[in-house]
Amino acid sequence: MKKYILLVEDNPDDEALTIRALRRNNIANEVVVARNGAEALDFLMARGPHVDRDPGHLPEVVLLDLKLPKVSGLEVLEQVRAAEQTRLLPVVVLTTSSEEKDLVESYRLGANSFIRKPVDFDQFMEAIRNLGMYWLVLNQSANGRDGS
């Protein structure tokens, strides 16, 4: 099964830049984009428009923005950790916010990593590169073993 990334991002600019940063770092994996929290949950739980999807085929990593329409990033994280299927899914919070409370709350709800999107694109590139390297190349995902 193909390894892919789920990017939960409502800002098309950030989406484009994130994908560009991944590509520029030679991460060619498919990137599935969800525009809001509800859509992301539907996808992950294989329900609603995604009811036909194989619920066992989970992304290698979810890049989750916090400030999202409808269902917020933190709520998404909470539900992901609450569901048996996605309990161990790697979730990297990727946000513009540098508020301490967001960081603390993210880790409390079980985020695997918290990355602040810098204004400087070079720094952003660096962050994405490290991220992709770790979660797509080095990390032995628990998903695969559970799924097969």
What's the helix, strand, coil split of the chain in %, to 5?
Answer: 45, 15, 40
Q: Does 54 bind other proteins (CB under 8 A)?
A: no
* x-or-dash string of contact with other proteins, 67-96, rule CB under 8 A: x---------------------------xx
Q: Are 18 and 64 in contact (CB under 8 A)?
A: no
Q: Does 121 bind other proteins (CB under 8 A)?
A: yes
Distance between CA atoms of residues 27 and 32, nearest Å: 14
Q: Between 57 and 67, whose beta carbon lies closer to other proteins?
A: 67
Parallel, antiparallel or unpaired: strands 113-116 and 61-64: unpaired
* x-or-dash string of contact with other proteins, 24-53, rule CB under 8 A: x-----------------------------
Q: Between 43 and 124, whose beta carbon lies closer to other proteins?
A: 124
Distance between CA atoms of residues 122 and 90, nearest Å: 25
CB of 94 to other proteins, least distance (A): 12
Out of 3, 4, 17, 32, the only residue in the binding site for other proteins (CB under 8 A) is 17
Distance between CA atoms of residues 55 and 147, nearest Å: 9
Rg (Cα) of the chain, in Å, rounded?
Answer: 14
Question: Which residues contact other proteins by CB under 8 A?
Answer: 11, 13-14, 16-17, 20, 24, 67, 95-99, 117-122, 124
